[in-house]
């Protein structure tokens, strides 16, 4: 399908795989989408800036880049940055079309329904979009879809009016008569208000007057403050709604000065906010920020998970604002047709944006239209990369599933470096533009949004699964049943039931071919872990192993803590349970764990705990995992006490050996074994023999994480005990 992407200062149209339905979402074939001139043109300008200028504007990226450079080296850092720059980013957040398919849990919409959609994360300029239910509203009556495609802009304007609490007979000033200002004027008039508008563009003022504006003020007309004073009988405006976009602080200062005593100012646009106390203190003015479409915006639980706010407590959510705006359009109380300057076919989107750069935005709305597909002509979930090279002889043809930052910064550069062993056959991502850009950057044969494509592709020998954690076990099982070798990033599973199904697959496997499974416990493949393993062989006594992970703080609403991630114990500490299993080579016989009880919700129990394990060889291992520490302190340290020696590993950059002649090792950057892991995976596939990690050890590390989780869970009745 075709989609508009912003790249290096330009809007380009590219062919990308169509999205697939997911639970709680609606797949929509777009008829029209609305270009947000202010927001999108600003994004184009930023994308045109050189990288160093963007870094100066957002210094947090510089800090993140330097951290990555220190831990992963120049090559991987450069690969990730180049990937981000070449991918571009989708744009658009207001569209309307026809429902193609609904995901699990959607019962009030069906294929064929006419709907309008919002959301900068989903309602893009694309032929097909996947939108969470709370960002979709039915289009009422005979309202045309072109008008309905302005739904997001209308909801933004409507929320601004709601924040103003405008009442019948009040006088309001609207500063900035772009599209949001034009809609705000009309909504205030519907609400029974007298409306004054100001703008630097005379044409916008005339347009607003044709749509009901009572009085317009242009800088050529003289002082806007004096005009407002005269038009309000010297009282001042009851309120001001700012819909302008400018870095100047003068706009908000002017808005305060226009108000009567105890008036209010609502900020909808984007202006400078260095406030002057004298402007609002004596009048005791109220200053409100209007948050986009309304309550629910930027709330992941509302937008992505579909948890609605009860109408008795939150009357107007972003979804209800969207629906109300469409009702006003349908009844003719608000008009958008006079605001639409032009409609361009999606193929001419680049031309549309170039025209917008000229600044002749009267009327201020531009739409994109899309071809309508039926039946087998629907957009494909797969796009071929014409620049891909065929796989060389004896190469393992591998498909990457989940093209996130970790996969693009770590796995894909490593696969490139191991081109004598691997050929990247496909890239699977839930977003088509990411799949396509990643496939191009790393030379994959094709990009797709449909996991089934690679499972059904006989040219795929193996899959590398790097999706969010809750998908791992089900994807592993599907791939194994399809006869594909699997390298899955940790964790292997988040529940005992998932783990049982994987074990059952191998227990019932028969025939000459059994696909290999490798969980991404990469640390055991690092040269540091292998050196420790060598040093503890032939020991005469059990070991004591102490591992400390200063994991760093992650906010409670981060996906790692949700059902998608399963928490940091199952999602990361499993690495260490595998290391303990690797070093001891033994079955675990006892697991104890205890978590702290945080006094506030800032910290979570399952990323602040101590876990103890006893193994059949008599060794005892302890993991201290915490988010309480400072990022200035090293993240990981292992101490091994064995036969009069102490082995100390620091952050996979230095191994020291005390009490023996054996030498330690060191490196400039962290070496956590990702390349060695992929090499071991390749050898096992190509040469056969033992698996890189025996199945029982992969299962044991996962079972330990499940048992620790049970003991540290706030719902657990015990804080320790035997496994």
Question: Each residue of 205-237: pLDDT tens digit?
Answer: 999 999 999 999 999 999 999 999 999 999 999
Distance between CA atoms of residues 653 and 258, nearest Å: 63
Give the pair of three-digit tokens for residue 686: 């190509």
pLDDT band for position 30 (cuts 50, 70, 90): very high
pLDDT band for position 661 (cuts 50, 70, 90): confident
pLDDT band for position 83 (cuts 50, 70, 90): low
Distance between CA atoms of residues 560 and 564, nearest Å: 7
Distance between CA atoms of residues 582 and 576, nearest Å: 10
pTM of this prediction?
Answer: 0.90
pLDDT per residue as tens digits for the range 556-615? 989 999 999 999 999 999 999 999 999 999 999 999 999 998 888 899 888 999 999 999
Q: Which pLDDT score, from 0 to 100, does residue 52 have? A: 53
Q: How far is CA 174 from CA 189, 204, 527, 609, in A?
A: 12, 12, 66, 55
pLDDT band for position 143 (cuts 50, 70, 90): very high
Q: Which pLDDT score, from 0 to 100, does residue 50 have? A: 63
- Cβ–Cβ < 8 Å for 320, 343: no
State how beta strands 286-289 and 259-267 pair: parallel
Mean local confidence (pLDDT), 457-481: 98
Distance between CA atoms of residues 172 and 188, nearest Å: 8
Q: Which pLDDT score, from 0 to 100, does residue 60 have? A: 61
**Order of strands, sheet of 517-519, starting from the edge strand that comes earlier in the sequence:** 382-384, 446-448, 422-428, 396-401, 462-465, 485-488, 517-519
pLDDT per residue as tens digits for the range 106-126? 999 999 999 999 999 999 999
The residue ranges of every structural domain in the chain are 2-150+309-375, 153-289, 387-519, 523-712
Distance between CA atoms of residues 88 and 435, nearest Å: 12
Q: Is 592 helix (H, G, I), strand (E, B) or coil?
A: strand
pLDDT band for position 718 (cuts 50, 70, 90): very low
Please tell me what DSSP assigns to residue 658. Answer: E
Distance between CA atoms of residues 230 and 275, nearest Å: 26
Distance between CA atoms of residues 687 and 692, nearest Å: 12
What is 58-112 written as a DSSP string?
Answer: -HHHHHHHHHHHHHH-HHHHHHHHHHHHHH-EE---EEEEEEEEE-TT--S--TT
Q: Is 540 helix (H, G, I), strand (E, B) or coil?
A: coil
Q: Evaluate the omega torsion of the peptide bond into residue 491 and state whether it is cis, within 30 degrees of 0.
A: yes
Mean local confidence (pLDDT), 9-16: 92
Asked if the model's pLDDT at residue 467 lies above 60, the reply is yes
pLDDT band for position 406 (cuts 50, 70, 90): very high
Q: Collect all residues with Cβ–Cβ distance below 8 Å to 704 and sequence separation of at least 6.
A: 574, 577, 580, 581, 588, 591, 611, 613, 723
Asked if the model's pLDDT at residue 714 lies above 80, the reply is no
Asked if the model's pLDDT at residue 44 lies above 80, the reply is no
Q: Which pLDDT score, from 0 to 100, does residue 719 have? A: 41
Q: How far is CA 552 from CA 632, 634, 649, 672, in A?
A: 10, 10, 19, 18
Query: What is the number of helices (H) and of strands (E) in the chain?
Result: 25, 33
Distance between CA atoms of residues 712 and 594, nearest Å: 6
Q: Which pLDDT score, from 0 to 100, does residue 81 have? A: 65
Q: Collect all residues with Cβ–Cβ distance below 8 Å to 498 and sequence separation of at least 6.
A: 473, 474
The yes-or-no answer to whether 153-289 and 387-519 have a common fold is yes
Distance between CA atoms of residues 134 and 314, nearest Å: 14
State how beta strands 485-488 and 588-595 pair: unpaired
Q: Which pLDDT score, from 0 to 100, does residue 356 have? A: 84
Q: How far is CA 321 from CA 151, 162, 293, 315, in A?
A: 9, 10, 7, 9
Asked if the model's pLDDT at residue 717 lies above 60, the reply is no
Residue 570: how many CB atoms within 10 A of its CB? 24
Distance between CA atoms of residues 327 and 571, nearest Å: 46
Q: How far is CA 162 from CA 135, 236, 325, in A?
A: 19, 20, 12
Asked if the model's pLDDT at residue 720 lies above 60, the reply is no
Backbone region of residue 233 per phi and psi (left: phi > 0; alpha: psi in -120 to 50; beta: other values) = left
Per mean pLDDT, which range of 33-42, 70-79, 291-300 is the poorest? 70-79
H-type alpha helices, 318-409: 318-330, 349-357, 405-406
Asked if the model's pLDDT at residue 256 lies above 50, the reply is yes
Q: Which pLDDT score, from 0 to 100, does residue 8 have? A: 80
Q: Which pLDDT score, from 0 to 100, does residue 606 have? A: 84
H-type alpha helices, 348-490: 349-357, 405-406, 412-417, 432-442, 451-455, 472-481
Mean local confidence (pLDDT), 75-87: 63
Per mean pLDDT, which range of 159-168, 361-370, 455-464, 693-702 is the poorest? 361-370
Q: How far is CA 324 from CA 274, 320, 441, in A?
A: 34, 6, 44
Asked if the model's pLDDT at residue 70 lies above 70, the reply is no
Distance between CA atoms of residues 115 and 693, nearest Å: 50
- Calculate what percentage of the chain has a pLDDT beyond 70: 92
Q: Which pLDDT score, from 0 to 100, does residue 82 have? A: 62
- Calculate what percentage of the chain has a pLDDT beyond 90: 83
Mean local confidence (pLDDT), 309-330: 97
Spatial CA neighbour of 244 closest among 294, 173, 193, 295: 173
Q: Which pLDDT score, from 0 to 100, does residue 51 have? A: 60
pLDDT band for position 354 (cuts 50, 70, 90): confident
- Helices 318-330 & 151-164, crossing angle to 10 degrees? 110
pLDDT per residue as tens digits for the range 523-559? 999 999 999 999 999 999 999 999 999 999 999 989 9
Asked if the model's pLDDT at residue 314 lies above 50, the reply is yes
pLDDT band for position 37 (cuts 50, 70, 90): confident
**CATH number for the domain running over 387-519:** 3.40.50.720
Backbone region of residue 434 per phi and psi (left: phi > 0; alpha: psi in -120 to 50; beta: other values) = alpha
Distance between CA atoms of residues 483 and 504, nearest Å: 15
Beta strands in 515-644 (DSSP E): 517-519, 544-550, 588-595, 608-615, 620-626, 636-642
Asked if the model's pLDDT at residue 140 lies above 90, the reply is yes
Direct distance between the N- and C-terminal alpha carbons of the chain, in angstroms, rounded to an integer = 52
The C-alpha torsion from 410 through 413 and 416 to 420, rounded to 10°, is -50
Q: Collect all residues with Cβ–Cβ distance below 8 Å to 691 and sequence separation of at least 6.
A: 516, 517, 518, 684
Q: Considering only the top CATH level, what class is 2-150+309-375?
A: alpha beta
Asked if the model's pLDDT at residue 683 lies above 50, the reply is yes
Asked if the model's pLDDT at residue 239 lies above 60, the reply is yes
**CATH number for the domain running over 523-712:** 3.30.360.10
Domain 153-289: homologous superfamily in CATH: NAD(P)-binding Rossmann-like Domain (3.40.50.720)
Distance between CA atoms of residues 663 and 652, nearest Å: 15
Q: Which pLDDT score, from 0 to 100, does residue 375 have? A: 58
**Exposed, middle or buried, 237 (CB in 10 Å: 0-12/13-18/19+)?**
buried
Asked if the model's pLDDT at residue 376 lies above 60, the reply is no
Q: Which residue has the higher pLDDT, 355 or 440?
A: 440
pLDDT band for position 49 (cuts 50, 70, 90): low
| Average confidence score pLDDT of the chain | 92
Element (H, E) at 680: helix 674-687
């Amino acid at each position: 399908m075709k989609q508009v992407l912003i790249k290096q200062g330009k809007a380009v149209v590219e062919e990308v795989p169509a999205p697939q339905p997911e639970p709680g979402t609606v797949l929509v074939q777009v008829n029209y989408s609305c270009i947000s001139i202010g927001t999108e043109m600003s994004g184009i300008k930023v994308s045109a800036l050189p990288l160093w200028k963007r870094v100066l504007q957002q210094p947090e990226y510089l800090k993140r880049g330097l951290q990555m450079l220190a831990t992963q080296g120049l090559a991987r850092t450069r690969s990730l940055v180049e990937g981000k720059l070449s991918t571009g980013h989708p744009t658009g957040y207001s569209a309307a079309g026809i429902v193609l398919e609904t995901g699990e849990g959607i019962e009030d919409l069906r294929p064929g329904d006419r709907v309008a959609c919002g959301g900068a994360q989903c309602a893009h300029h694309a032929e097909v979009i996947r939108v969470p239910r709370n960002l979709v509203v039915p289009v009422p009556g005979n309202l045309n879809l072109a008008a309905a495609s302005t739904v997001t802009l209308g909801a933004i304007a409507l929320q601004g009016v709601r924040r103003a609490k405008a009442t019948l007979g009040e006088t309001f000033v609207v500063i900035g008569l772009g599209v949001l200002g034009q809609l705000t004027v009309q909504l205030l008039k519907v609400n029974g208000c007298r409306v004054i508008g100001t703008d630097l563009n005379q044409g916008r003022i005339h347009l607003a007057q044709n749509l009901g504006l009572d009085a317009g003020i242009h800088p050529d007309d003289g002082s806007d403050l004096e005009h407002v004073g005269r038009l309000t009988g010297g009282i001042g405006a009851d309120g001001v709604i700012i819909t302008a976009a400018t870095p100047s602080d003068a706009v908000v200062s002017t808005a305060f000065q226009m108000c009567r005593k105890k008036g209010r100012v609502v900020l909808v646009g984007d202006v400078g906010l260095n406030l002057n106390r004298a402007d609002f203190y004596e009048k005791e003015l109220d200053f409100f920020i209007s948050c986009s479409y309304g309550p629910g915006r930027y709330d992941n639980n509302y937008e992505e998970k579909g948890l609605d706010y009860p109408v008795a407590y939150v009357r107007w959510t972003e979804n209800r604002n969207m629906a109300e705006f469409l009702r006003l359009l349908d009844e003719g109380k608000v008009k958008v047709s006079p605001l639409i300057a032009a409609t361009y076919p999606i193929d001419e989107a680049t031309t549309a944006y170039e025209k917008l750069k000229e600044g002749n935005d009267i009327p201020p709305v531009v739409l994109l239209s899309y071809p309508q597909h039926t039946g087998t002509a629907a957009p494909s979930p797969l796009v071929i990369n014409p620049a891909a090279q065929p796989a060389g002889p004896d190469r393992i043809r591998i498909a990457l599933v989940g093209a996130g930052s970790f996969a693009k910064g770590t796995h894909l550069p490593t696969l490139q470096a191991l081109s004598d062993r691997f050929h990247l056959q496909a890239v699977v991502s839930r977003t088509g533009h990411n799949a396509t850009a990643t496939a191009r950057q790393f030379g994959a044969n094709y990009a797709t949004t449909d996991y089934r494509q690679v499972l059904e592709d006989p040219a795929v020998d193996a899959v590398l699964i790097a999706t969010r954690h809750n998908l791992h076990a089900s994807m592993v099982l599907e791939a194994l049943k399809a006869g594909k070798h699997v390298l899955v990033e940790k964790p292997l599973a988040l529940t005992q039931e998932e783990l049982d199904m994987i074990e059952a697959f191998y227990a019932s496997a028969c025939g000459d071919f059994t696909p290999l499974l490798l969980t991404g416990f990469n640390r055991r493949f690092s040269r540091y872990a292998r050196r420790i393993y060598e040093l503890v062989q032939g020991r005469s006594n059990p070991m004591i192993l102490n591992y400390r992970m200063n994991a760093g703080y992650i906010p409670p609403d981060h996906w790692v803590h949700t059902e998608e991630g399963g928490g940091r114990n199952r999602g990361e500490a499993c690495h260490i349970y595998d290391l303990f299993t690797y070093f001891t080579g033994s079955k675990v016989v006892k697991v104890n764990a205890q978590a702290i009880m945080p006094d506030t919700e800032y910290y979570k129990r399952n990323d602040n705990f101590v876990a103890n394990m006893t193994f059949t060889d008599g060794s005892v291992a302890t993991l201290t995992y915490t988010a309480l520490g400072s990022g200035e302190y090293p993240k990981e340290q292992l101490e091994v006490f064995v036969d009069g020696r102490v082995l100390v590993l620091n952050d996979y950059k230095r191994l020291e050996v005390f009490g023996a002649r054996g030498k330690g090792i060191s490196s400039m950057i962290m070496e956590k074994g990702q390349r060695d892991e992929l090499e071991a995976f390749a050898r096992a596939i190509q040469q056969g023999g033992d698996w890189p990690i025996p199945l029982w050890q992969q299962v044991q590390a996962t079972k330990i994480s499940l048992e620790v989780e049970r003991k540290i869970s706030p719902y657990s009745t015990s804080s320790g005990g035997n496994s």
